[in-house]
Structure 1
Amino acid sequence: MKKKYWIPVFVLVLLFSCKKLEKPNFSLVGDLYAKNIVGLPLDFQNGKENLEYSWYMASNPAGEWSQLPGIWTNEIVLLTSYVGNYIKCEITYNELGSDKKVTASVGSSDPVVNKGNANTDWFKDAGYGVMVHYLKEAIVPEGGSEEWNKTVDSFNVDKFASQVNEAGAGFVMFTLGQNSGYYCSPNKAYDKAVGTEAGELCSKRDLPMDLIKALKKYKIPLILYLPSNPPINNKNVSEKLRYAFQKDSATSQFNQPILENMIEEWSLRYGDGVKGWWFDGLYSWNDIRSTRMNMSLKHNISTHTLAAKAGNKNSIVTYNSGFGKIHGNTPYDDYTSGEKSTIDEYPSSRWAEDGIQWFLFTYLGEKWGGHGQQFITDSLVDKAVNIVNNEGVLCLEVVTDSKAEILPGHFDQIKAVGEKLREHK
């Protein structure tokens, strides 16, 4: 387990009260490395009400501080643009039972430094993994809750984990849900927002939790997949979440916090059993990216990222920009989304950009969810070796049946990739 360090801090307290109050004894917690999370200790809120947070940075702690827009939370993700700067959080609150406002600030005694992104070390070492689109519309398009629950119940996590291990894959990416409004895991925040009972749209079985346990036997990490927007193909859900039906569009300050509540609930439940998140659909053309990157809004890319990392602060996230050349899509990315229709690009180094691990994600079939095979196996193996030997990461989508059996042609190919990579290691 990585050793945790307390960062030395200076504390500046400003009191707006006639009554002299004790100087609060607290400091920031977390390593001052770009891509890490720094925040206030968990017990800071005790005895305080109406807390408000603002974050600032300065090149010198005695110099001028500039406010970081859109950061309203008790934690902050340290971006690479903060490197070389000192960080400060200003907190305003009422002492319990008092109407007098107190303002305090706490900042770092050292600047933020760039050490790459240690949270992605395991990912780079894994080299390659597999992905499954386990979605109602793909597996059981007809029927409703009963059919979906039976399908989810039939997924044999032990069989699947055994196959993944046999193939030598270093991680698994798995869908929680996508556009149908159905998810393979319970979620109270979603049920409440949509007005459904447990088991209606969210499965009764917690499939990701069972998958975490099965993969843990082989020390294989799990990454979860979600769209960056609410489901678009369920009319009732679209109406309840006030989102455009059958059309990708920007989220609002009504449905964005609902998404964050859903993500945070899953993240807290799974803890360090989930090592990463892959968020689809953060495109420029549909305004989702521009809205999420609007830091004048209370709910934005920062609050979305913190929701995903709530249960595991070292988990990695990416936001998909769509097909195209591999690059970072947001300052909050830990790795590239890397969506490709084939393998036609290779890393020149581990980092696609500062602190962003190079990653490519494509399908083995003739399309996403396709049962055919787009690659000749020998060619696929050579491409995989090229990526991994240059410290990139590769993810291959495989297709399974409802019970978790990977298609024989896909299974043969990922085994061939795994065998060759083991030889090179």
Structure 2
Amino acid sequence: MTGKEYLLSKKWGVFNHYLDLLQGDVNKPHNQPFGKLAWSDLVDCFDVERLAWSLHQMNAGYYFITLMQGTKSMLAPNATFDRIAGTKPGEACARRDLPMELADALSKYNIDLCLYYTGDGPWKDDIAGSRFGFTEPRKDISMDFCKKWASVLEEYAERYGDKVKAWWIDGCFRESFGYTEEMYEQYYNVIVKANPQALVGFNDGVKRRHEKNYSKETLICGEFNDFTRVPKSDDFYGGALPHTLAPLGYDGETMNEYSGWGSPGVKRPLDYMVKYIQAVNRVGGVVTIDILVRADGSFDPEQEGFLRQVGSRL
């Protein structure tokens, strides 16, 4: 069974943003009940066994979590990052290897681990962003940056190997950043070298339809703000796995590019969500559902209960 066939058999999964700007913010529900903690200490609060059991109760087939997003706070140790950014172990990269622990906990229930990475590095941090070579206003990305940032990814990819089934790489914008095929190649090569069966997708932002962004892409990123678009079959995307990623929550604001991500609540009825996932499965695709996770790895109760009902009908 290929990596694509394998992930397709899982039907649907859950996505979590676990970030210093969410779980580390005492004013957000993601932080409760921990208060202000250093990033590495916050990661220590995550209960992998509890999360794995919760996903098992949902009948979820796989689980995505962010390695980072925008800042220097990385979810796991990375000596390459520390060397380039000039940071000490535990200062930017968590001391705990949470992805490795997650992979082991999830494997008890035959749930696969997938990881989120970005194509713009720690751009929000003036020092780390400058050392990698990409900061505001995030224009004219360079091959030098891509090689440095790919070397950080390489350390993770080699460490996790086939424990990670798919990589979803955000912020790989062709028009606004200047990404090219050769730049995508830097990331793609280190991933498939570590795990030839891994699926890889490069996100070029929210689109009006499912699109392939890179010639060798094996996973359609499929970022949307709601579960309304059904992809075409894999033949249309050159064999890449059709995939939708959207948030279940709704933050009460007018729907826009960021509405609902990591937010509590449920924006669609049960029957609607079940039928949507089934529709995507019928064309040979999978659906990933973004929900709120707290610092300790517990989910929003309403969303968790809802997805248990969804999973019981799939």
Fold shared per TM-score above 0.5 = yes
**Partner in structure 1 of residue 139 of structure 2:** 249
The answer to whether the 8 Å contact 1:352/1:358 transfers is no
Matched, 1:170 2:54: no
What corresponds to 2:190 in structure 1?
A: 307
**Corresponding residue of 2:32:** none
Gaps of 5+ in 1: 3-117
Question: One-letter code of the match for 1:175?
Answer: T
Q: Deviations over 1:286-321 (max 9, x none)?
A: 1342xx32x4xxxx2222201122321111100012
Residues 38-94 of structure 1, C-alpha deviations (whole Å, 9 max, x = no match):
xxxxxxxxxxxxxxxxxxxxxxxxxxxxxxxxxxxxxxxxxxxxxxxxxxxxxxxxx
Q: Which residue of 2 aligns with 1:203?
A: 94
Larger strand percent? 1
Task: Give 1:207-218 correspondences, 5 Å limit.
Answer: 207-218=98-109
Displacement of 1:350: 4.2
Structure 1 residue matching 2:174: 3-state secondary structure: coil
* Residues 170 and 250 of structure 1, relative CA distance in 2, 3 Å threshold: farther
Identity, in percent, stands at 25
1:120 and 2:11 matched: no
The worse-fitting range, judged by mean Cα deviation, of 252-261 and 202-211 is: 252-261
Match of 1:415 in 2: 308
1:278 is aligned to 168
CA distance in 2, matches of 1:358, 1:178: 24
Moved more, 376-385 or 327-336: 376-385
Residues 338/376 of structure 1: CA separation in 2 closer, same or farther (3 Å cut) = same
Contact 2:232 2:242 in 1 (8 A): no
Instruction: String of CA shifts for 1:176-213, please: whole Å, max 9, x gaps.
Output: 00112101100010000011111100000000000011
Cα pair 1:176 1:183 within 8 Å, conserved: yes
TM-score (structure 2 length as normaliser): 0.89
Alpha-carbon distance in structure 2 between the residues aligned to 1:417 and 1:249: 42
The residue matched to 2:169 in structure 1 has which SS?
A: strand
1:109-148 CA deviation, whole Å, 9 max, x = no partner? xxxxxxxxx3311111111000000111111137xx9621
Match of 1:180 in 2: 71
Q: What is the CA deviation profile of residues 267-292 of structure 1, one whole-angstrom value per residue up to 9, with x for unaligned ones?
A: 11011101110000112331342xx3
The CA RMSD over aligned residues, in Å, is: 1.8
Q: Which amino acid aligns with 1:402?
A: A
Pick from 13, 17, 23 the counterpart of residue 129 of structure 1: 13
Find out whether 1:360 has 2:244 as its counterpart.
yes
Question: Normalization by structure 1: what TM-score?
Answer: 0.67
Q: Is contact 1:186–1:205 with CA below 8 Å preserved after alignment?
A: yes
- Corresponding letter in the other structure for 2:63: V
| Residue among 221, 228, 231 paired with 2:119 | 228
Distance 1:310 1:152 in 2: 28
TM-superposed CA distance for 1:348, in Å, is: 4.2
- 1:310 alignment partner, SS class: helix
Which residue is 2:43 aligned to? 152
Count residues in correspondence. Answer: 296
Distance 1:286 1:242 in 2: 16
Counterpart residue identity of residue 246, structure 2: T
- Does the 8 Å CA contact 1:361/1:394 hold for their aligned counterparts? yes
Match of 1:330 in 2: 214
The answer on 1:141 being equivalent to 2:31 is no
Deviation at 1:233, TM superposition (A): 1.1
Aligned residue identity for 2:114: I
Bigger RCO (CA 8 Å, 6+ sep): 2
